[in-house]
Chain A
Amino acid sequence: MSLEGKRILIAKPGLDGHDVGAKVIALALRDAGADVIYTGLRKSPDYIARVAVDEDVDAVGLSMLSGSHNEIVSETLLHLKELDASDIKIFVGGTIPRDDHAGLREAGVSGIYTSDMAIADVLKEIELELRNA
C-alpha cells in the first residue's frame, strides 16, 4: 500500500478544537508516503477550498467533531465547485452520526471515517479512492 506522490490537505473547519484525530490521520498518511498539509484550527470552508486549489491537492480531509459537518461539507463542496476544482476528493472524519452518512455521500463525500476504525483500513480506503481518480 502506498500513497506515494499523492497530495492531501487535512483541515479543521469551524470552531471545533479537537485536533487529535486530524493529527493522527495526518501523521499516518505521511507515513504511508503522501505529501500532507495540515491547516491548523478554525479555518473557513472558503479558506480550505482555496488552499486545496493553491496546493494542488488530490484530496481534502475534513475533521469535525462538533456536529456541524453537514453545513461545512456542503459549503466546502460549493467553494471547490466555484474554483472549478470538483475533482478534488473530500473525506470526512470525526464524530459523524450514522444517520448522516448517506446524505454526506450523496453530497459528494468519498469516505467517512470514525475513531473506532483501524488506521490501516482508513488508509486502504483512501488509497483505493485516489487510485481510481
Chain B
Amino acid sequence: MATSKNSSAEIINEVEKAPPNHPDPVTPSGIEVPVVVGPDMIDFSKLEQPGAYPFTRGIFENGFRGRLWTIRQYSGFGTAEESNERYKFLLDQGQTGLSVALDLPTQCGYDPTDSMARAEVGKVGVSLSNLGEVERLFKGIDVGGISTSFTINGTASIIYAMYCAVADKQGVDRNKLTGTIQNDILKEYVARGTWIFPVKPSMRLIADTILFSNKHTPRFNAISIAGAHVRDAGCTAVEEMGYTLANGLAYTDELIRRGGDVEKFARRLSFFFYVHMDFFEEICKFRAGRRLWAKLMNERYGVEDPKAQMFRFGVVCGGSSLIGSQPHNNIVRVGTETMAAVLGGAQSIFTCAFDEAFQIPTEHSAEIALRTQQIIAHESGIARTVDPLGGSYYVEWLTDQMEKGMMSVIEEIEKYGGVEKAVEDGWLQMKIAKRASERKQAADSGKTVIVGQNYFRRDDQTEEVGEVFKLDPMATARVIEKHEKNRETRDSSLVEKSLVALENAASNDKNNIMPYLIDCCHAYATVGEMVSTLKNQWGEFQEPVRL
C-alpha cells in the first residue's frame, strides 16, 4: 500500500471548439518532424532488400505475395459450449485462425469455486478450469487443422499443457499443433496484472514451455512477447517497442541459462503489439523494431541463422485508441490502423470491434471488424508489393529516428539493472503510470485531438449503438456445476499422484515442468490445483505498490 500527499494543483482543461488548423510537428513519441524530409537525410546505401538482414523491409522477400497475413479475431466468453459455437461461426466466415480469450480466474490460477473468482467467472473470456472444458471448447474442431492463439500468461504453461492433452485425446500428433500462447509474464507485472509466482520461477516456467514446445510442438509459438499492454497502459510507440525488445532479451538470457540453443529457440520467438492512430509512427515502429531485433540477435548473441534473427509479430488494431463517444467512428480508426499494420509487415492482425471500448462485441460489430481486414486484404491493393513505402524519405528517416529511441529505452533499463529488477522494484510500473497521466492530460487539454471526444463532441451521441450483447446470467452457475461434476467423476488417486509429481519437479530447477503439467491435465486436475501446488514451492509475487 502506498500513501502520499502533494500540494494542491488546479488542473484546468478547457478545450476549444476546433483543433488548431495545422498538424502537430511532433509525433506522439516526441520526435520532431521537419516540414520536408530530403534524400540527404537518409543513407540509402544501408537499405537492404526485403527478406535480407536486418529485415527493415520485411522478413520475406516476397512479402504478402506468398501468403497474406493471418486474420485472427479475439473471442470467447461465457461457457466452453458457447465459445465453441462462436468459433465454428467465425471459421465458417473465413477466419483463418482461432483466438481464445480466457476469464480472469483461469488467467490468475483460481478455480471457479474460489471466493476470489466467483464474481469473474466467464466475464472476459471462457472458463477453462480443467481438460473437460478444453475438450468441449474444441468439440468438432480438428486441433491439428487450425491455428489457435491463447491470450494467457500467468497460467500459460497449464493452458498449453491442456492443448497438448486435447490433441492426445483427439488422436492428433502433438507435432501438428500450431498457434501461440502469450506466455509473457514480464509485461504482466508491469501492465496487465495476471502474475502469480515471483519473477524468477516465472521466468523458469516460461523457458520450460518454450524448450518443451521447440521439441514436441515445433510449429507452435510458445511465447508472444507483448508490447501491446504497456502501450495501452500509457507508453509511446518507441517505448512500447523498446520495453518489449528488452523483455525479449531477458527471456533469451533465461533460455540460454536453462540450456537452450539460441539458434534454435530464437526461430520461434514472436511478438505482439498494439497499433494506434499515428499512421507513419506505427509503420516505422515495426520497421525499426524488426531491424533492431535482428541486429541485437546477431551482435549480442552471434545468431547466424536468418530464421533466428527474424522478428515476427502479430498486432491488435484498436485498444485504447477506441472511444465510447460516437462509437461508429471507431470503424474508421480500426481501418486506418489495419493499413499501418499491413504496411509495417505484420504476420497476423486482430481488428477490434467498434463497440469494444465499452462492451463485449456483438456478432454484428465482430463481423464488421473481420470485414475491415478482408476489404484491406482483397480490395485496397496495398499488399500487392513488398514494403511499398520502402525508400520513402520520410519513412526511412522516421524508421532511423525510432530505432535510435528504442535503443535508448533498452539502455536505460539495462543501466537500472535489467528488466527483472525494474519490475520487482516497481520502477517500470511507476514510469508507465506517469506516462498514462501525461497521455490523459494531453487528451483532456486538447493537445491530442480525439474526434468526437475532446473536439467535435455531441453529447447526444455516446454509446448508443442499438444492440448490446448480454452475458447469460446462468453461465456462471453452469461453469461451477461442470467444475464440481469434474471433481466428482475423475479418479482422485490419479489427481493426487500427478500433483505430487508436479511438486517434486518444481522443487528442482533441473526439471522441465511441462511433462508433469500435461500428466496433471490428463488426470483432470484443475488449474487451481496445479497453481496451488506450484505456489507451495515457489510462493507468490509481492506486488510493489508505489505511486
Residues in A lying within 8 Å of B, measured CB to CB: 1-4, 14-20, 23-24, 26-28, 30-42, 44, 51, 66-68, 71-72, 75, 95, 97-99, 114-116, 118-121, 123
CB-defined contacts of B4 to chain A, threshold 8 Å: 30, 35-36
How far apart are A68's CB and chain B's nearest CB, in angstroms?
4
A18 to B453, CA, bound (A): 22
A33 to B120, CA, bound (A): 34
B105 contacts chain A at the CB level, 8 A cutoff: yes
Are B191 and A20 in touch, CB under 8 angstroms?
yes
Point out the residue from B11, B188, B359 that lies within 8 Å of A31, measured CB to CB. Answer: B11
A67 to B324, CA, bound (A): 16
CB-defined contacts of A67 to chain B, threshold 8 Å: 123-124, 360, 471
How far apart are B354's CB and chain A's nearest CB, in angstroms?
15
A-B contact pairs, 6 of them (CB 8 A): A17-B193, A18-B193, A24-B433, A30-B4, A38-B547, A42-B193
B468 contacts chain A at the CB level, 8 A cutoff: yes
CB-defined contacts of A20 to chain B, threshold 8 Å: 191, 232-234, 432-433, 436
Residue of A nearest to B439 (CB): A24
B424 contacts chain A at the CB level, 8 A cutoff: no
Instruction: Flag B347-365 by CB within 8 Å of A: 1 or 0 each.
Output: 0000000000011100000
How far apart are B116's CB and chain A's nearest CB, in angstroms?
7
Are B107 and A15 in touch, CB under 8 angstroms?
yes
Are A15 and B11 in touch, CB under 8 angstroms?
no
Residue of B nearest to A21 (CB): B436
A114 to B107, CA, bound (A): 25
Residue of B nearest to A10 (CB): B547
CB-defined contacts of B468 to chain A, threshold 8 Å: 97, 99
Point out the residue from A32, A72, A75 that lies within 8 Å of B11, measured CB to CB. Answer: A32
Point out the residue from B9, B108, B123, B188 that lies within 8 Å of A32, measured CB to CB. Answer: B9
A38 to B529, CA, bound (A): 30
A120 and B115 contact, Cβ closer than 8 Å, known pairs A17-B188, A35-B5, A41-B543: no
CB-defined contacts of B1 to chain A, threshold 8 Å: 37-40, 51
Residue of B nearest to A27 (CB): B437
CB-defined contacts of A16 to chain B, threshold 8 Å: 104, 120, 193
A98 to B432, CA, bound (A): 29
Are A33 and B6 in touch, CB under 8 angstroms?
yes
CB-defined contacts of A27 to chain B, threshold 8 Å: 433-434, 437, 547
Are B324 and A123 in touch, CB under 8 angstroms?
no
Residue of B nearest to A19 (CB): B193
Are A98 and B3 in touch, CB under 8 angstroms?
no
Are A120 and B12 in touch, CB under 8 angstroms?
yes
Are B119 and A72 in touch, CB under 8 angstroms?
yes
A47 to B102, CA, bound (A): 26
CB-defined contacts of A3 to chain B, threshold 8 Å: 8
Are B444 and A44 in touch, CB under 8 angstroms?
no
How far apart are B433's CB and chain A's nearest CB, in angstroms?
4
A1 and B10 contact, Cβ closer than 8 Å, known pairs A20-B191, A51-B1: yes
Are B191 and A123 in touch, CB under 8 angstroms?
no
Are B193 and A116 in touch, CB under 8 angstroms?
no
A5 to B207, CA, bound (A): 49
Are B234 and A18 in touch, CB under 8 angstroms?
no
A31 to B105, CA, bound (A): 35
How far apart are A14's CB and chain B's nearest CB, in angstroms?
6
A67 to B469, CA, bound (A): 12
CB-defined contacts of A71 to chain B, threshold 8 Å: 118-119
Are A68 and B13 in touch, CB under 8 angstroms?
no
